[in-house]
Amino acid sequence: MSERRVIGEASAPSLPRHVKLRRDESRGQWVLLAPERVLVPDDIAVEILQRLDGQATVGAVADDLAEKYRSPRAEVLHDVIEMLQDLADKGFLAA
């Protein structure tokens, strides 16, 4: 049995095989597909999810978004970790 995945700045998470980020053209939105679940991530969440490739660290994702949106890095990092920890706890993330 595995341990709970704890997301930190140095984590390099990715979407596991059973979780797919797809463009849902018929509804004009992005969706996160998992068994018996369809999540509709907001724009920022989509930006975060698109950067997860198992290589990029959470810190690097925060750097990137802080620069793109000209926001304080500490706040961005906090929000990214919070969102990803929630996804990990729901079983939607591989760390």
Partner 1 sequence: MSVPPAPPLALLAELTHRCPLQCPYCSNPLELDRANAEMDTAAWQNVLDQAAAMGILQVHFSGGEPMARGDLADLVRHAARAGLYSNLITSAVLLDERRAAALAEAGLDHVQISFQGTEAGPADVVAGYSGAHEKKLRAARLTRDAGLPLTVNAVMHRGNLDRIEATIAMAADLGAARLEVAHVQYYGWGLKNRAALIPTRAQLEHTTAAVMAARERLKGVMVIDYVVPDYYAARPKACMGGWGRQFVNITPSGRVLPCHAAETIPGLAFESVRDRPLAAIWADSPAFRRFRGTDWMPEPCRSCDRREVDWGGCRCQAFALAGDAAATDPACALSPKHGDVLALAERESAVMAPPAFVYRRMEKIPVLEPGKK
* Between 75 and 82, CB nearer to partner 1: 82
Q: How far apart are CA 2 and CA 40, in angstroms?
A: 28
Residues between 27 and 56 with contacts to partner 1, criterion CB under 8 A? 27, 31, 33-36, 38
Q: CB of residue 68 vs partner 1: minimum separation in angstroms?
A: 28
Stretch that binds partner 1, among 23-31, 47-55, 61-69, 76-84 (CB under 8 A): 23-31
Size of the residue set binding partner 1 (CB under 8 A)? 25
Angle between helices 58-68 and 43-50 (to 10 degrees): 130
Give exposure, 45-70, as e/b (b: 16+ Cβ within 10 Å).
Answer: bbbbbebbeeebebbebbebbbeeee
Tokens of 44: 């920022």
* Between 24 and 53, CB nearer to partner 1: 24
4 contacts partner 1 (rule: CB under 8 A): yes
